[in-house]
Amino acid sequence: MSEDTAPQAADAAHAVAAAAARDDFAARAAELDAGDPLSGKRAEFVLDEAVYLDGNSLGALPQAVPERLREVVAHEWGELRIRSWTESGWWTAPERIGDRIAPLLGAAPGQVVVGDSTSVNVFKALVAAVRMADETTGPAAGGPARDEILVDAATFPTDGYIARSAARLTGRTLRPVEAARMPAEVSERTAVALVNHVDYRTGRLNDLPGVTAALHRAGALAVWDLCHSAGALPVGLDAHGVDLAVGCTYKYLNGGPGSPAYLYVRAEHQPRFDSPLPGWNSHADPFGMDPEYVPAAGIERGRVGTPDILSLLALEAALEAWEGVAIEDVRAKSLALTDFFLECVRAYVPRGRVRSVTPEAHHERGSQVALECAGAGEVMGELIRHGVIGDFRHPDVLRFGFTPLYTSFADAERAARTLAEVLAYVPGDGSASAVAAGAQEQGPVMT
């Protein structure tokens, strides 16, 4: 066989093997779905014939939300009007819904408040953490100057922008550091570190307990961004001594587009939480209209202005889907789904066409699979056209988010099979040789 025909022969052999494996994988998917303790939750979401693997960007619509919003608009707003702030519990919604989210974060009640965006909450948390560090371990406490903020070098861009602004406003230096390097890089100069629990691009799960402990040994505080972990895996904020945390609710928590974010402030820090955005909603006497600001006690200090009631109550209805669900079962299914999907991809997709940039090790994996793929933008467009909804991250990453409450093993098998079918006619720029060459430098090509 000539060198020119060898690759074609290998591809043909792989296609035959993949075709033979499809019935086996389909049967395995059916068996896994039949034994899935969370399978009944799928009926609580509005889904269609498409395979929806973009819940790490926007969660599917829970069935309970539309009726609840109709009730809020027609009765609470339409009929009760202003009385709903008290009679319908609008005023206390930020703390009440925070307490519903808290168990998913491993937090006791009274430490989570819902409101504002993730970006706003990152700003509040970082500036307040710098002020607390000054007071507790910095010069005010006879300690060293805490003149730097560490930020996860692979952070979602907005977190980096906010961290840079917070550093400038507080007179600190911002230093980007890889999350895995933070235990070695933190020093007595560090006031706080902002770290992503799961890398949004690769799906890598960072070591929350280890990094938090290392920061504390150096006298620094930890702020964690939980956008890509809350609702997908156990977080353990209280157990691991996390100081502050933020996260969105429109991904794995299925709160809807633009649903409000949340802020966690550890109970012992709340008396010293000095928000850089003091608003009338966080005042000790919000209706006293006192020109002097006096912060409320407890987690209410994290509030700013009037709550987004429609979005808040939609989120509260969405959280009903979590009734009776153990986050440990969610994590077990997440890992099983992503393992199964990767196995299907290896069987169906010719060697060298894609490379997983999501870690194989369970302790380093979130609830998504990111595949490096030449021509990824075009490939994802074709996948969506064929009913498999994921997303694309520049320049060459296909992201597939697995939401255990409604994603099935049959979905995972169909997604991998459709990916192989699309790659058969979308070669992409650079095709297999470029991907394989890059993999030799960066890691193993998937087989």
**Catalytic sites, residue numbers:** 156, 225, 250-251, 399
How far lies 58's CA from each of 115, 251, 390, 446, in Å? 18, 5, 11, 28
How far is the CA of 306 from the CAs of 93, 115, 205, 281, in angstroms?
11, 9, 35, 7
In angstroms, the CA 196 to CA 227 distance is: 8
Q: Specify the amino acid at residue 307.
A: P
Residue type, 428: G
For residues 353 and 338, give the distance between their C-alpha atoms in angstroms, rounded to a whole number. Answer: 19
Give the three-state DSSP class for 241: coil
Is residue 108 within 8 A of residue 102, CB to CB? The reply is yes
Query: What 3-state class would DSSP assign to 344?
Result: helix
- Side chain identity at 271, as an amino acid letter? P
Query: Beta strand pairing status for 190-196 and 221-225?
Result: parallel
Nearest one of 436, 427, 348 to 14, comparing CA atoms:
348
Q: Tell me the HSE value of 187 on the side-chain side, using a 13 A CA sphere.
A: 8
- 231 burial (CB, 10 Å; 0-12 / 13-18 / 19+) is buried
Token pair in block for residue 402: 């697995």
**Tokens 């409000």 identify what position?**
260
Residue 168 CA to chain centroid, in angstroms?
27
Query: Around Cβ 208, how many Cβ atoms within 10 Å?
Result: 23
Tell the burial category of 442 from Cβ atoms under 10 Å away from its Cβ (0-12, 13-18, 19+).
Answer: exposed
User: Is the CB of residue 281 less than 8 Å from the CB of residue 306?
Assistant: yes
Q: Quick one: tokens of 308?
A: 């987004």
Quick check: 162 and 126 in contact, CB under 8 A? Answer: yes
Whether cis (ω within 30° of 0) applies to the bond prior to 395 is: yes
Distance between CA atoms of residues 390 and 402, nearest Å? 10
Residue type at 344?
C
